[in-house]
């Protein structure tokens, strides 16, 4: 085959993948443009399309594929409309963060439903035999199905463009994305169009899922593997821009395909590098017009109520009691033989520290870091690499982990904090994915296996404890090195909490709180708001690195999964679950989340489903988190008379319309 | 004799094809009470934003205290002594009155903070900042209310706090953005009295469209019309200027 | 045809959150008349319009339109009753063309009336007819104002609410807007106008309400109000006999 035809084949392959991305990104982008919703569940709707088609086509035989191609997207569209009606609709007017959280919960639910119906393993979804043959065009053979994808995808994209630009429906959608209140004032029920738009976007994702499912196979992970590239495309092209989704989708498809063939090292990296480069140069993306155009008010982030009905003393006592209980657990575990509880607690402590670190940016600086696992993972790698190559001391390893992460946070913050909101979220996600893909590429990071079998020495310059050789006989029981690790971890986590509390109570923290209250005012009393946010991000990155470093040092390994975006999602869930903007809330949230996950997963197979449902309910009904529960209960009419003298009112959500009045 | 604290030269701001502020050259003398007036759409708000640093001019310069501040962001201008108040009261409503003022006093602290102080000492442990805070609270009549959350203050007290925050940044000059917008006659009087009481020793630049008010309080008035300076002078001179009467009073004379 | 006013507001109390912007407003808009609301910034003029439309739900009082109680109707339903708004700052859809802006207006409004065609409405406005395919964002302020009026008119409303239609416009364009309001009224349109330019307000109106601090503090036929110097001075800070 000549060079020209080899290149041509690559172009075609790129266009095939690109078309799938176009369909995915178009739906995502329309949904964001019209409703400001960042739909993390879009990837699962994509997978759902593939599975519906798989289920429909199988029994029908020959013509089944064609029936499925029509029916499955419609079903996904109906699912999408149901999701909008039942969940998303309730959150309009809140900060986009809540949509991210909600749809993250939906990811867990849909994904678990898929695995429980169709199983965990990938299944072949054959292309209809008519299409499954090569055709000779331009001097070489190429699959008819692939040509079909390109033609079909182009037709759908064109159809979508026509729908948006040449129909009454499209006109109302475009007008609604610019000024929804005005559309209402004209007499048009925009809510109905929102539902239809969500359904339409979901159906497009469904089509993309079928197309790709038949190109490769169907598997429960197909959603999570496309969602991040789809976001990259939407951000790269410009949020809410259809043209951006088309150009970005094809471009990413081509770039990925060419990179795979010609620069395998850059495969998986280049897309994120491109996104970061584009955003640094043009924060609105290639075809984006302006940040927060139209009437997109960002609703307020809802913080956990600081004091609530529990006084500071009560909370301090509870805190001491908690730490006290944590101190005696290893002894109890030894006595009762339930050693597994120590492992669970270690897990909780690590996540509590990770959630605490996120809360410093999310709850105090108001920055939604969607890629926080970047620091957790890098901290873990830095810690293990230091232990392997520099020093066996856990102290040295942790110092390196914190320093490396703080430095990376400074760099990422420098590039991204001046562009606010959604773009910050996307850039952090992009960096996290960049590092996630990078650790597979290098030998020194152990590739896809990670690094194993590292021993840490709990001391410095020979003075200290080696957990491998540590034993203390205690009556009939023996305390081993695991106990050292546990207490070390507990001390670091409690110490970090105290440090964070210090920071928050110092002038630095009071400025962060003022920024949270009113960024504009803070800047007009003389504070460099961007610099403060960046510093908070550096501190946060350092603490997240400490969490990752601790886990890696204690367990003696690190793997690429430490950098997987699902961790970033989970830590946000914990933070909001507990109540962001309070330091103890997120730690509590981590405890509840990890414990619930542990308990549920040992009793039921569909534990993700249960967690997802609980979480969706939580985001809708208890957005201020667990720490606000006593207050919410006290505010309930039944109890109100009993708690008559509560101080002040819970900081209310300000009506976003209030600043519009004359 | 001329000692302008704030000077703009050929200040111009274009939004696409629209020229919102067109070649405005302005000198505000140290210690004076200057007002900038004009009908809606005259470019008052844009000019205000160019002075505070919220917007960058398309052309021209802003000089404050002899220093070219055209390229400086808002917080740098505040640190150099150019404060501002807000039209819609903009206080940190989740914090107490004292914390509101202390944050501003902290920002204006002589010599700033060492890293240890900034990150590790309690923010209420700095005596000089606390004293400054108390002085400002005292002067603005809020000393007894320091521990109340800002969001439970009555409207008038919120305005008081608004001014107190400005004062705590220790400005040489304060830009006032329609401080009496939406107020009744009595509230307007009370607010202007408060400004007079608390900020009288600073240079003031008032952005306003209420002519009566401006005539009463200003030393000098600059009239903007369609982005340009139409007239400048004492209240008497301005009110008698035929061009001003035509453009601003909209030919209201019967 | 009855003598009942087309729009009748009684004891309207409304606001945002705990702030009560309107403290009990009574006003009537008779069929075929131009009624204006004047007052300083922030006295509740726009909030009155927003409450009539349903954007700010009233906490007390009633709003009756053409014999129907519309107090609690949502904005979309109010518009379907035949009330169209030309909002403050015009709010044309910046990414839609002139034609599309008018088309979307035609989708709204009453369902049971015959509406003029988009072309017919655009042709009535000389400076819009020249820019049919321009996007809203690329029009001048005056053109945007005309487009906002056209977008409202195409729904064939029974009542037109105009919120500060001359704000920020050059004097020559203000004259054009004024002429348009007169023309509409000559054709029998009923108009409720909120206006800060006192001269425009008094010229256009049949009847005037002066608002202060969320209440009607003075009302009367336009010529009487124009002569009531002391009132104008007190509530608006202008004097007609200056």
DSSP string, A374-440: HHHHHHHHHHHHHHHHT-SBHHHHHHHHHHHHHHHHHHHHHHHTTS-HHHHHHHHHHHHHHHHHHHT
Plot region of A531 (φ>0 → left; ψ -120 to 50 → alpha; else → beta): alpha
Taking residues C129-135, report their average pLDDT.
92
Mark whether C120 and C238 lie in a shared domain: no
Tokens of A281: 């140069």
Name the residue facing B122 among A505, A524, A525 (closest C-beta): A505
- DSSP letter at B60 equals E
CB A422 within 8 A of CB A38: yes
| Residue, of A264 and A335, whose pLDDT is higher | A264
Residue found under tokens 């007190």: C234
Taking residues A548-576, report their average pLDDT.
92
Q: Which of B142, B141, B127 is nearest to B96 (CA)?
A: B142
Q: Does B242 touch chain C (CB under 8 A)?
A: no
Taking residues A28-45, report their average pLDDT.
90
- Say what the pLDDT of residue A646 is: 37
Name the residue facing A186 among C94, C95, C108 (closest C-beta): C108
Residue found under tokens 């000198």: B27
What is the Cα–Cα distance from B238 to A395, expressed in whole angstroms? 73
- Say what the pLDDT of residue C169 is: 75
Contacts of B116 in chain A (CB under 8 A): none
Interchain contact, A526 vs B84, CB within 8 Å: no
Domain count, chain C: 2
Mark whether C1 and C71 lie in a shared domain: yes
Provide the 10 A C-beta neighbour count for residue A144.
16
Looking at C157, C190, C208, the residue that finishes a domain is C157
pLDDT band at A352; cut points 50, 70, 90? very high
What is the Cα–Cα distance from A233 to A227, expressed in whole angstroms? 10
Tokens of A129: 């035999």
- Say what the pLDDT of residue A641 is: 46
Q: How far is A517 from chain B (nearest CA, A)?
A: 5
The helix/strand/coil state of A204 is helix
What is the Cα–Cα distance from A463 to A484, expressed in whole angstroms? 14
Interchain contact, B78 vs A648, CB within 8 Å: no
Domain ranges, ordered by start, for chain B: 1-81+173-180+201-254, 89-170
* Segments in chain B below pLDDT 50: 1, 251-254
Contacts of A527 in chain B (CB under 8 A): 75, 107
Interchain contact, C43 vs B226, CB within 8 Å: no
Using CA coordinates, name the residue in chain A closest to B151: A651
Mark whether C163 and C241 lie in a shared domain: yes
Taking residues A411-422, report their average pLDDT.
79
- Say what the pLDDT of residue A300 is: 58
Summarised one tens digit per residue, pLDDT across range A610-659 is: 888 988 998 888 888 888 877 777 766 665 444 433 333 333 333 333 33
**Dihedral of CA A309/A311/A317/A322: which sign?**
positive
What is the Cα–Cα distance from A544 to A565, expressed in whole angstroms? 14
List chains adjacent to chain B, taking adjacency as at least 3 C-beta pairs closer than 8 Å.
A, C
Interchain contact, C105 vs A172, CB within 8 Å: no
Name the residue facing C237 among B183, B212, B247 (closest C-beta): B212
- Close Cβ partners of B155 (under 8 Å, ≥ 6 residues apart): B89, B187
Taking residues C163-186, report their average pLDDT.
84
| pLDDT > 70 fraction of chain A, expressed in percent and rounded | 91
Was domain B1-81+173-180+201-254 assigned CATH 3.10.350.10?
A: no
The helix/strand/coil state of A591 is helix
Among 3.40.30.10, 3.40.50.300, 3.40.50.970, 3.40.50.1370, name the CATH number for the domain at B89-170: 3.40.50.300
- Close Cβ partners of A629 (under 8 Å, ≥ 6 residues apart): A622
Name the residue facing B118 among A506, A525, A651 (closest C-beta): A506
What is the Cα–Cα distance from A646 to A305, expressed in whole angstroms? 13
Using CA coordinates, name the residue in chain B closest to C137: B16
What is the Cα–Cα distance from A542 to A535, expressed in whole angstroms? 11
| φ and ψ at residue C48, rounded to 5 degrees | -60, -50
Mark whether C209 and C226 lie in a shared domain: yes
Provide the 10 A C-beta neighbour count for residue A26.
31
What is the Cα–Cα distance from C192 to C214, expressed in whole angstroms? 17
* Residues of chain B by 3-state class (helix, strand, coil), percent to 5: 40, 25, 35
Taking residues A83-98, report their average pLDDT.
86
Name the residue facing B84 among A508, A516, A524 (closest C-beta): A524
Q: How far is A350 from chain C (nearest CA, A)?
A: 42
Planar angle of CA A482, A448, A375, nearest 5 degrees: 65
Q: Which of A312, A316, A313, A308 is nearest to A632 (CA)?
A: A308
| CB-based contacts of A67-72 (< 8 A; 24+ apart in sequence) | A68/A210, A69/A207, A69/A210, A72/A206, A72/A210
- Say what the pLDDT of residue A650 is: 37
Q: Does A653 touch chain C (CB under 8 A)?
A: no
pLDDT band at A419; cut points 50, 70, 90? low
pLDDT band at C141; cut points 50, 70, 90? confident
Contacts of C100 in chain A (CB under 8 A): 171, 175
What is the Cα–Cα distance from A198 to A200, expressed in whole angstroms? 5
What is the Cα–Cα distance from A354 to A372, expressed in whole angstroms? 9
Taking residues A245-273, report their average pLDDT.
90
Domains of chain A (ranges plus CATH)? 16-219 (no CATH), 312-640 (1.10.3470)
The helix/strand/coil state of A267 is coil
Give the gyration radius of chain C's Cα atoms.
Answer: 17
Is pLDDT at A167 greater than 50 in this prediction? yes
CB A12 within 8 A of CB A258: no
- Say what the pLDDT of residue A205 is: 96
| φ and ψ at residue B235, rounded to 5 degrees | -50, -45
Looking at C111, C132, C157, the residue that finishes a domain is C157
Q: Which of A13, A12, A15, A21 is nearest to A228 (CA)?
A: A21
Planar angle of CA A538, A541, A542, nearest 5 degrees: 85
What is the Cα–Cα distance from B209 to B229, expressed in whole angstroms? 15
CB C44 within 8 A of CB C95: no
Q: Please state at what angle helix A529-555 crosses helix A340-359, rounded to 10 degrees.
A: 170
What residue numbers bound the domain in which C46 lies?
1-82+159-242
Name the residue facing C21 among A185, A294, A661 (closest C-beta): A661
| CB-based contacts of C16-23 (< 8 A; 24+ apart in sequence) | C16/A655, C16/A657, C16/A658, C16/A661, C16/C56, C17/A652, C17/A654, C17/A655, C17/A658, C19/A658, C20/C59, C20/C214, C21/A661, C21/C47, C21/C214, C22/C47, C22/C48, C22/C51, C22/C58, C22/C214, C23/C213, C23/C214, C23/C215
SS3 of A32-88: the string is HHHHCCCCCCHHHHHHHHHHHHHHHHHHHHHHHHHHHHHHHHHHHHHHHHHHHHHCH
CB A63 within 8 A of CB A86: no
Which residues are bridge partners to A460 per DSSP? Answer: A463
Is pLDDT at C130 greater than 70 in this prediction? yes
- DSSP letter at A457 equals B
Q: How far is A650 from chain B (nearest CA, A)?
A: 10
- Say what the pLDDT of residue A76 is: 97
Write down the pTM of the prediction. Answer: 0.84
Q: Is A464 exposed, middle or buried (0-12, 13-18, 19+ CB in 10 A)?
A: middle
Mark whether C180 and C232 lie in a shared domain: yes
| Residue, of A340 and A386, whose pLDDT is higher | A386
The residue length of chain A stands at: 662
Residues on chain B bordering chain A, Cβ-to-Cβ distance under 8 angstroms? 52, 73-76, 78-79, 83-84, 86, 88, 90-95, 99, 102-104, 106-108, 113, 117-123, 126, 149, 151-152, 165, 168-169, 182
- Say what the pLDDT of residue A169 is: 93
- Say what the pLDDT of residue A313 is: 78
In the sheet that C68-69 helps form, which strands lie side by side, from edge to edge? C19-29, C7-16, C60-65, C68-69
Mark whether C200 and C147 lie in a shared domain: no
| φ and ψ at residue A564, rounded to 5 degrees | -70, 140
CB C162 within 8 A of CB C4: no
Contacts of A651 in chain B (CB under 8 A): 93-94, 151
Name the residue facing C53 among A172, A185, A654 (closest C-beta): A185
- Say what the pLDDT of residue C240 is: 47
CB A359 within 8 A of CB A586: yes
Mark whether C189 and C235 lie in a shared domain: yes
| pLDDT > 90 fraction of chain A, expressed in percent and rounded | 45
| Residue, of A305 and C81, whose pLDDT is higher | C81
Mark whether C73 and C165 lie in a shared domain: yes
Mark whether C210 and C237 lie in a shared domain: yes
Question: What's C21's domain CATH number?
Answer: 3.40.50.300
Mark whether C16 and C108 lie in a shared domain: no
- Say what the pLDDT of residue A647 is: 36
Residue from B94, B161, B166 to probe the interface with A (highest A Cβ count within 10 Å) = B94
Looking at C113, C128, C157, the residue that finishes a domain is C157
C-alpha to C-alpha distances, A7 to A138, A159, B14, nearest whole angstrom: 12, 29, 48
Is pLDDT at A308 greater than 80 in this prediction? no
What is the Cα–Cα distance from B169 to B122, expressed in whole angstroms? 20
Q: Does B40 touch chain C (CB under 8 A)?
A: yes
Which of the listed ranges A72-86, A381-395, A508-522, C191-205 does the model predict with the highest average pLDDT? Answer: A72-86
| Equal CATH topology for B1-81+173-180+201-254 and B89-170 | yes
Instruction: Return the C-alpha torsion angle B37, B38, B42, B43, nearest 10.
Output: 10
Q: Which of A264, A330, A323, A299 is nearest to A467 (CA)?
A: A330
Contacts of A170 in chain C (CB under 8 A): none
- Say what the pLDDT of residue C241 is: 41
Is pLDDT at A379 greater than 90 in this prediction? yes
Q: Does A649 touch chain C (CB under 8 A)?
A: no
What is the Cα–Cα distance from B14 to B17, expressed in whole angstroms? 7
Contacts of B117 in chain A (CB under 8 A): 506-507
| Residue, of C142 and C103, whose pLDDT is higher | C103
- Say what the pLDDT of residue B248 is: 58
Q: How far is B5 from chain C (nearest CA, A)?
A: 31
Mark whether C69 and C142 lie in a shared domain: no
For chain A, what is the mean pLDDT? 85
| φ and ψ at residue B71, rounded to 5 degrees | -95, 5
- Say what the pLDDT of residue A341 is: 81
Q: How far is B184 from chain C (nearest CA, A)?
A: 7
Scored b (16 or more CB within 10 A) or e, A473-512 reads eeeeeebbbbbbbbebbbebbbebbeebeebbbbbbbbbb
Helix/strand number for chain B, H first, E second: 10, 10
| Residue, of C131 and C141, whose pLDDT is higher | C131
Asked whether this complex has an ipTM greater than 0.90, the answer is: yes
| Residue, of A571 and A606, whose pLDDT is higher | A571
Q: Does C146 touch chain B (CB under 8 A)?
A: no
In DSSP notation, A487-534 reads HHHHHHHHHHHHHHHHHHHSHHHHHHHHHHH-HHHHHTTT--HHHHHH
Interchain contact, B182 vs A505, CB within 8 Å: no
Provide the 10 A C-beta neighbour count for residue B66.
9
Contacts of C198 in chain B (CB under 8 A): 250, 252
* Residues of chain C by 3-state class (helix, strand, coil), percent to 5: 35, 25, 35
Interchain contact, B210 vs C237, CB within 8 Å: yes
């Amino acid at each position: 085959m000549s060079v020209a035809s080899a290149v041509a084949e690559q172009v075609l392959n790129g266009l095939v993948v690109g078309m799938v991305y176009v369909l995915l990104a178009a739906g995502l982008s329309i949904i964001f443009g019209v409703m400001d919703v960042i739909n993390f569940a879009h990837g699962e709707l994509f997978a759902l399309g593939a599975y519906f088609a798989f289920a429909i086509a199988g029994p029908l035989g020959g013509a089944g594929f064609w029936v499925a191609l029509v029916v499955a997207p419609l079903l996904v569209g109906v699912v999408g409309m149901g999701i909008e009606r039942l969940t998303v609709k309730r959150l309009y007017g809140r900060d986009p963060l809540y949509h991210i959280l909600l749809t993250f919960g939906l990811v867990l639910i849909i994904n678990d439903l898929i695995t429980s119906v169709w199983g965990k393993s990938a299944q072949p979804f054959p292309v209809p035999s008519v299409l499954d043959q090569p055709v000779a065009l331009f001097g070489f053979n190429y699959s008819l199905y692939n040509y079909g994808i390109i033609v079909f995808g182009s037709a759908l994209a064109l159809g979508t463009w026509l729908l948006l630009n040449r129909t009454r429906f499209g006109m109302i959608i475009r007008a609604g994305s610019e000024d929804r209140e005005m559309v209402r004032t004209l007499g048009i029920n925009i809510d109905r169009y929102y539902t239809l738009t969500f359904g339409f976007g979901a159906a497009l994702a469904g089509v993309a899922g079928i197309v790709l499912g038949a190109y490769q196979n169907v598997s429960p992970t197909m959603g999570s593997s496309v969602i991040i590239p789809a976001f990259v495309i939407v951000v790269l092209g410009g949020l809410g821009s259809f043209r951006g989704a088309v150009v970005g989708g094809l471009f990413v498809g081509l770039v990925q395909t060419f990179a795979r063939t010609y620069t395998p090292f850059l495969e998986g990296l280049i897309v994120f590098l491109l996104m970061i480069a584009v955003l640094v140069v043009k924060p609105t993306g290639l075809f984006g017009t302006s940040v927060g155009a139209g009437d997109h008010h960002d609703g307020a982030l809802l913080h956990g109520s600081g004091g609530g009905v529990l006084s500071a003393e009560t909370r301090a006592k509870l805190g001491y009691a908690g730490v006290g209980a944590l101190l005696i657990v290893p002894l109890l575990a030894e006595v009762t033989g339930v050693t597994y509880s120590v492992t669970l607690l270690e897990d909780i402590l690590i996540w509590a520290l990770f959630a605490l670190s996120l809360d410093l940016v999310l709850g105090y600086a108001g920055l939604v870091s969607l890629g926080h696992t970047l620091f957790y993972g890098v901290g873990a790698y830095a810690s293990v690499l230091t232990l392997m190559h520099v020093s066996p001391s856990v102290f040295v390893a942790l110092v390196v982990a914190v320093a490396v992460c703080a430095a990376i946070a400074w760099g990422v913050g420098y590039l991204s904090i001046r562009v606010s909101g959604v773009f910050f979220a996307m850039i952090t996600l992009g960096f996290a994915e960049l590092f996630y893909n990078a650790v597979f590429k290098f030998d020194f990071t152990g590739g896809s296996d990670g690094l194993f079998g590292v021993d840490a020495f709990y001391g410095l310059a020979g003075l200290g404890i080696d957990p491998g050789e540590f034993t203390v006989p205690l009556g009939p029981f023996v305390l081993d090195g695991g106990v050292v690790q546990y207490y070390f971890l507990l001390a670091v986590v409690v110490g970090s909490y105290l440090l964070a509390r210090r920071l928050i109570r110092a002038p630095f923290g009071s400025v962060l709180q003022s920024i949270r209250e009113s960024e504009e005012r803070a800047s007009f009393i003389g504070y460099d708001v961007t610099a403060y946010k960046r510093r908070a991000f550096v501190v946060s990155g350092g603490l997240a690195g400490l969490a990752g470093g601790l886990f890696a040092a204690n367990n003696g390994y690190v793997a690429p999964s430490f950098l997987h975006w699902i961790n970033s999602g989970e830590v946000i869930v914990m933070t909001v679950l507990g109540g962001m903007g309070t330091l103890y809330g997120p730690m509590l949230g981590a405890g509840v989340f990890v414990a619930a996950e542990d308990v549920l997963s040992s009793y039921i197979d569909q534990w993700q489903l249960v967690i997802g449902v609980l979480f969706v309910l939580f985001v809708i009904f208890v957005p201020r988190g667990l720490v606000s529960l006593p207050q919410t209960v006290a505010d309930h009419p039944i109890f109100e008379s009993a708690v008559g003298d509560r101080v002040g009112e819970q900081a209310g959500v300000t009506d976003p319309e209030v600043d519009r009045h004359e | 004799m001329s000692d302008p604290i704030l000077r703009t030269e050929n200040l111009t701001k274009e939004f696409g094809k629209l020229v919102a502020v067109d070649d405005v050259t302005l000198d505000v003398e140290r210690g004076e009470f200057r007002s900038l007036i004009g009908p809606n759409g005259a470019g008052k708000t844009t000019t205000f934003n160019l002075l505070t640093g919220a917007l960058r001019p398309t052309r021209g310069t802003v000089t404050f205290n002899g220093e070219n501040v055209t390229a400086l962001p808002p917080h740098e201008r505040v640190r150099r002594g150019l404060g501002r108040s807000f039209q819609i009261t903009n206080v940190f409503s989740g914090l107490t009155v004292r914390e509101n003022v202390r944050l501003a006093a902290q920002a204006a602290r002589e010599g700033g903070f060492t890293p240890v102080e900034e990150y590790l000492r309690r923010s209420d442990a700095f005596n000089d900042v606390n004293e400054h805070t108390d002085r400002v609270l005292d002067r603005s009549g809020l000393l007894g209310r320091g521990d109340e959350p800002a969001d439970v203050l009555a409207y008038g007290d919120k305005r008081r706090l608004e001014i107190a925050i400005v004062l705590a940044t220790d400005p040489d000059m304060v830009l006032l953005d329609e401080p009496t917008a939406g107020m009744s006659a009595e509230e307007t009087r009370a607010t202007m009295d408060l400004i007079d009481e608390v900020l009288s020793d600073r240079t003031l630049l008032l952005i306003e469209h209420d002519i009566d008010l401006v005539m009463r309080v200003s030393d000098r008035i600059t009239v903007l019309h369609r982005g340009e300076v139409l007239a400048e002078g004492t209240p008497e001179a301005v009110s008698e200027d035929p061009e001003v009467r035509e453009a601003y009073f909209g030919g209201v004379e019967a | 045809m009855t003598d009942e006013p087309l729009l009748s507001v009684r004891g309207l109390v409304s606001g945002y959150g705990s702030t009560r912007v309107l403290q009990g407003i009574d006003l009537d808009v008779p069929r075929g008349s131009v009624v204006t609301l004047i007052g300083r910034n922030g006295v509740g003029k726009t909030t009155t319009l927003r409450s009539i439309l349903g954007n700010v739900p009233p906490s007390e009082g009633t709003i009756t339109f053409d014999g129907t109680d519309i107090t609690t109707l949502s904005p979309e339903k109010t518009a379907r009753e035949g009330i169209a708004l030309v909002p403050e700052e015009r709010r044309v859809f910046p990414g839609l063309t002139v034609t599309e802006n008018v088309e979307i207006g035609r989708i709204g409004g009453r369902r049971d009336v015959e509406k003029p065609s988009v072309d017919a409405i655009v042709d009535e406005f000389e400076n819009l007819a020249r820019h049919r395919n321009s996007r809203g964002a690329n029009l001048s302020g005056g053109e945007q104002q005309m487009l906002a009026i056209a977008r409202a008119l195409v729904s064939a409303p029974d009542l037109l609410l105009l919120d500060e239609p001359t704000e920020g416009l050059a004097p020559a364009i203000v004259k054009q807007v004024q002429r348009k309001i007169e023309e509409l009224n000559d054709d029998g349109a009923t108009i409720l106008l909120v206006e800060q330019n006192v001269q425009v307000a008094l010229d256009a109106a049949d009847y005037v309400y002066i608002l202060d601090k969320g209440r009607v503090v003075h009302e009367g036929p336009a010529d009487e109000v124009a002569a009531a110097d002391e009132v104008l001075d007190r509530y608006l800070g202008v004097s007609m006999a200056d």
